Structure 1
Amino acid sequence: MPQRPYVIDQMISAKSIAARVEELASEIAADFAGTDKLVVVGLLRGSFVFIADLVRELDLPVEVDFLEASSYDNAMESSREVRILKDLRGQIEGRDVLIVEDIVDTGYTLSHVLHLLQSRGPGKLRTIALLDKPTRRETPIRADWTGFEIPDEFVVGYGIDFAQRNRNLPYIGKVRFTPEGDHLAPEA
């Protein structure tokens, strides 16, 4: 399927993201103080850049695991049907766990994953999302920590993609579709 031409308008700079990740790591370390090892669970694929930066800032012993859940495929809208494509490798029963999500939109993915992991008997279970779009919420869920609250815009960058593109941008940008034939390069 051919893609419509688009440009990317920067919303949140790489510098702002780095500063916020540092603040969040400090808050998380205080909340999990005394844990023998925190299991940080990244929701693939969108959280991979965020989780890498976050765990480097955490002053705690950590173990990293990943879970891949999908409700988007290559679409811009959630299908509201959450599928687990890759499960955790390790056990979390009795262990402290932090779920790392890139963006909470409708809330279906985070809600599904939270219930799934709660059923496995973790010790303390918390959630963090880099981005939150509260105006899109369809389920009553909110992450324990949020990096940035954003308006209802389709965003890319810092691990978040559009049809597997733009994950490598160091900032968060808003996708703006252009008229056919207008071939502007993405704006930094």
Structure 2
Amino acid sequence: MKIHPLVKEILITTEEIDEKCFELGQQISHYYLNEYPAKDNTILCLGLLKGCIPFMAKFIAHLVGVECETEYIVVSSYFGGVKSKDTPQILLDLPMPITNRDILLVEDIIDSGKTIKMIKDYLYLKGARSVKVVTLLDKKAGRKINLVADWYGFDVPPAFLIGFGLDYQERLRNLPYIAIADQEKLATWKWDIKK
């Protein structure tokens, strides 16, 4: 496999991601079937765009025995940079009512926790029956509020990560692994030159 020149180090391989998506699917299926039965045996998997797409696509394929609807919401907390802003903003809201629905928020990474906290509170205000959170990556060192994901795949260090949905200025989401970005190279990178 060719490694992108902006990758400093591969942190999590494609194979490790695949295994973790399977494990999370099994755990969450068990929860909604046995511990907290979902209303009408159906959960609404609500992905936070755009980073959630690769994780959500892989993960929901492993939900077994529980029905799953999918919907997306756009919340911006980075605005093209590498550090999150203080106040996340909803840019695209849900197109339908969610009163008395069991919602599973699907996120690629939890960093400060502010975005997920804001969305959870918002969904409860809109009448959700339950709101749980699954994230592929948990960056606890960046946490600014007391927020714990209900399920997570990997603890990650306080580094700038790219790949598998994680971007730098909307690019590099398509890398099939999760990597630490080489920030020195990013600072001078020219996108128009083939490397």
TM-score (norm 1): 0.90
Please name the residue that 1:157 is paired with: 163
Q: Which runs of 4+ in 1 moved over 6 A?
A: 180-183
Q: CA deviation at 1:164?
A: 0.7
Q: CA deviation at 1:6?
A: 3.7
Structure 1 SS opposite 2:69: strand
Give ranges in structure 2 of 5+ residues lacking alignment.
Answer: none
Q: CA deviation at 1:177?
A: 2.5
Structure 2 residue 112 is the aligned partner of structure 1 residue 106: yes
Any idea what the Cα deviations from partners look like across 1:84-136, whole Å, max 9, x if unmatched? 00011222111111001111111111111111011122122210111111111
Any idea what the Cα deviations from partners look like across 1:9-34, whole Å, max 9, x if unmatched? 21000000010010001010011114
User: Equivalent of 1:139, from 145, 152, 156?
Assistant: 145
Give ranges in structure 1 of 5+ residues lacking alignment.
Answer: none
Q: Retained in 2: the 8 A contact 1:39–1:62? A: yes
Aligned sequence identity (%): 33
- Alignment RMSD (CA, Å): 2.0
State how many pairs are aligned: 181
Describe how 1:23-172 pairs up with structure 2 within 5 A: 23-33=23-33, 34-35=37-38, 36=40, 37-59=42-64, 60-172=66-178
Which gives a bigger RCO, structure 1 or 2 (Cα 8 Å, sep 6+)?
Answer: 1
d(CA) in 2 for partners of 1:164 and 1:150? 21
d(CA) in 2 for partners of 1:121 and 1:83? 20
Which structure's residues are more often helix, by fraction? 2
* CA gap 1:9/1:92 in 2 versus in 1, 3 angstroms: same
Structure 2 SS opposite 1:126: strand
Q: CA deviation at 1:182?
A: 8.8
TM-score (norm 2): 0.87
Q: Retained in 2: the 8 A contact 1:69–1:83? A: yes
Structure 2 SS opposite 1:57: coil
